[in-house]
Amino acid sequence: MIRTFRLVPTIALAVALLGGAANAQTIKIGVNEPLTGAFAASGTYVVNGAKIAADEINAKGGILGKKLELVIEDNKSNPTEAAAVAEKLITSDKVPVLMGAWGSSLTLAVMPKLMEYETPMVVETSSSGKITTTGNPYIFRISPPSAIEAAAFKGIVDKLELKKVDFLVINNDWGRGTAEDFSKMMKEKGITVGAVETMDQGAQDMSAQLSKLKGTDSETIIVTTAVDQLTLIFKQAAALGLKKRIITTGGSQNPDQIIAQAGAAANGTMHLTTFLPWFPDKTPNPEATNYFITEWKKRGFDFAGCTESFRGYDGIRTAAAAIEKAGKAEPAAIKAALWDIKIKGLNGDIVFRKSGPEGKESGQSQPNVYLIEITDGKIGMKTL
């Protein structure tokens, strides 16, 4: 009896010590996304997609035998805050790898922190070319830079018989970068580029810009911004009686949401997306797509968000695969492992190729780009 009494606390103490000795009970991935501000809707979709990935991984036993924990922080759609959030995640939460930061300007703001603390980040949405060409070896991007979007769009330009286009873009790295890359491509094809109007990310009233564009002689407007502003643009364009063809880029459009809120104003518009939740069989990985969409609907989320949330899903799975490959939750090892992974993403294979100046290349994957068109409130594909 007495011996048992002495044994139990000893065993308990030993277990406690051993448990404490194990570094952490979970493996953390930092998530740096806009949950408030102009991009709140998009950031929330991405985070919810990320959670689906984390839950799926944990259901299958976690990573390296431990539970995966997402440390989610809000960067408020603001570059300074994005950098501060990255600092918090790395120095306070000690995450060995991050995913983020949604917007191009936000990601660019985070990049110096990645260099300073030598921690890798999976970039899931940003499209500015600068991200992978300025020589930051801690960046691994799975979303297409706008140059790839423009190149994919090149094929259909003739079919659409574009002659003169205007641009209406959000006033940051994303919008301006898109205008630049697409203009370059258009000019090569002999299409005239007309006006380039910008709008502040927080602007609610674009009627001034739209009135101006209504008066130009181009027949197409290319619009680049996040979904909240897009809905406003469509509504206001309809209210002004703007009859030009509208094409949106960037993959953050949520066409279903636009149909729901802009109604008839959405008909005839076209959108460059990076995912086809409406046609799972046309995606590179139909089984995984179906699983994701079913999970998404099960959680009661808005189906419209699938066009963006899949990025959170793929981003986390990428980071998790790298941690698994590295064998430890340690930044340098994860960074090295990211170059070696190849996984089936919802938008194609995720495998990183070198991009940028020699010696400091970033990783860039080659995702697919699709063009869809809204007709009579329904979404249809246009072959590129």
Partner 1 sequence: MKSGITILSVVVFASVPLWLRDPYLMNALITTGIFVIGAMSLNLLLGFTGQLSLGHIAFFGIGAYVSALTSLGFDVGLPFGLRIVHTPWPPIAGFVLAIAIAGLCGYLVGLLSFRVRGAYFVIVTISFAEVVRLVALNWVELTQGPLALTNIPSMTIGLPGLGELTLRTKLQNYYLVLSVALVTYLLISRLVHSHFGRAMRGLMENETLAVSVGIDVTKTLTLAAVISAGIAGAAGSLYAHYIRIIDPEVFAFINTVTMVIMVITGGKGSLAGPVVGGMIFGLLPVFLRPIMAPEAQWIAYGGVLIVILFVLPRGIVPSLAQRFAKRPGRAEKAAPVAFSERGVKEHA
Partner 2 sequence: MSEFLQHLINMLVLGGTYALLGIGLTLIFGIMNVVNFTHGVLYTFGAYIMFIVVHQLGINFFLALPLAVVAGWLLGAVIELTLLRPLRGSDIDTTMLVMIGAWIAMQSGTLWIWGGVAKSVTTPFPEAPLVLGPVSVSWLRLFVLAAAALLIVVTYFLINRTKLGCAMRATFQDQDTASLMGVNVDLIYTSTFAIGSSLAAAAGALLGPVYVIFPQMGDLAAVKAFAIVILGGLGNITGAVIGGFILALAEELGAGYVSSGYRDAMGFLIIIAVLIFKPTGLFARSERVG
**Can you tell me the distance from the alpha carbon of 352 to that of 364, in angstroms, rounded to the nearest whole number?**
5
From 93, 208, 282, 357, residue interacting with partner 2 (rule: CB under 8 A):
208
Q: Is the peptide bond before 24 cis (omega within 30 degrees of 0)?
A: no
Other beta carbons within 10 angstroms of residue 87's beta carbon come to: 14
From 6, 8, 11, 80, residue interacting with partner 1 (rule: CB under 8 A):
80
Secondary structure letter of residue 304 according to DSSP: G
Kindly give the residue spans of alpha helices, DSSP state H, lying in the chain: 2-21, 40-59, 79-87, 104-117, 130-133, 146-157, 173-188, 207-214, 227-240, 255-262, 286-298, 306-326, 331-338
| Burial tier of 16 (Cβ tally within 10 Å: 0-12, 13-18, 19+) | exposed
User: Shortest distance, CB of residue 173 to partner 1, whole angstroms?
Assistant: 5
Instruction: Indicate which of partner 1, partner 2, none lies near residue 78 (CB less than 5 to 8 Å, by partner kind).
Output: partner 1
| Contact present, 46 and 103 (Cβ < 8 Å) | no
Instruction: Indicate which of partner 2, partner 1, none lies near residue 261 (CB less than 5 to 8 Å, by partner kind).
Output: partner 2
Indicate whether 214 belongs to the interface with partner 2 (CB under 8 A): yes
Q: From residue 336, how far is each of 107, 158, 330 by CA, in Å?
A: 21, 43, 10
Ranges within 104-133 binding partner 1 (CB under 8 A): 105, 108-109, 112
Q: What are phi and psi of 259, to 5 degrees?
A: -60, -45
| Contact present, 119 and 97 (Cβ < 8 Å) | yes
From 26, 58, 134, 171, residue interacting with partner 2 (rule: CB under 8 A):
171
User: Shortest distance, CB of residue 356 to partner 1, whole angstroms?
Assistant: 16
Ranges within 20-79 binding partner 1 (CB under 8 A): 74, 78-79
Taking the least distance from each CB to partner 2, the nearer of 188 and 200 is 200
Kindly give the residue spans of alpha helices, DSSP state H, lying in 252-285: 255-262
* Stretch near partner 2 under the rule CB under 8 A, chosen from 51-59, 183-191, 228-236, 333-341: 228-236
CA dihedral defined by 110, 112, 114, 118, rounded to 10 degrees?
-170
> In 3D, which of 69, 102, 95, 87 has the Cα closest to residue 201?
102
Annotate each residue in 117-146 with x if it binds partner 2 (CB under 8 A) or - if it does not, as one string: ------------------------------
Annotate each residue in 193-212 with x if it binds partner 1 (CB under 8 A) or - if it does not, as one string: -------xx-----------
Taking the least distance from each CB to partner 2, the nearer of 192 and 204 is 204
Taking the least distance from each CB to partner 1, the nearer of 106 and 270 is 106
Instruction: Indicate which of partner 1, partner 2, none lies near residue 109 (CB less than 5 to 8 Å, by partner kind).
Output: partner 1
Indicate whether 207 belongs to the interface with partner 2 (CB under 8 A): yes
> In 3D, which of 79, 85, 78 has the Cα closest to residue 30?
85
**Can you tell me the distance from the alpha carbon of 106 to that of 115, in angstroms, rounded to the nearest whole number?**
15
Indicate whether 194 belongs to the interface with partner 2 (CB under 8 A): no
From 7, 11, 14, 239, residue interacting with partner 2 (rule: CB under 8 A):
239
User: Shortest distance, CB of residue 84 to partner 1, whole angstroms?
Assistant: 7
Taking the least distance from each CB to partner 2, the nearer of 78 and 355 is 78
Taking the least distance from each CB to partner 2, the nearer of 78 and 107 is 78
Give residue for tokens 């299409």.
Answer: 191
Indicate whether 80 belongs to the interface with partner 2 (CB under 8 A): no
From 55, 56, 87, 349, residue interacting with partner 1 (rule: CB under 8 A):
87
User: Shortest distance, CB of residue 260 to partner 1, whole angstroms?
Assistant: 28
From 56, 62, 64, 88, residue interacting with partner 1 (rule: CB under 8 A):
88
| Contact present, 181 and 129 (Cβ < 8 Å) | yes
Any residues with CB less than 8 A from the CB of 82 and at least 6 apart, and which?
32, 75, 100, 101, 106, 107, 109, 110
Q: 270-273 and 370-375: which strand pairing?
A: antiparallel
Residues binding partner 1 (CB under 8 A): 74, 78-81, 83-84, 87-88, 91-92, 105, 108-109, 112, 171-173, 176, 200-201
Residues binding partner 2 (CB under 8 A): 35-37, 40-41, 44, 74, 171, 197-200, 203-209, 211-212, 214-215, 228, 231-232, 235, 238-241, 261-265
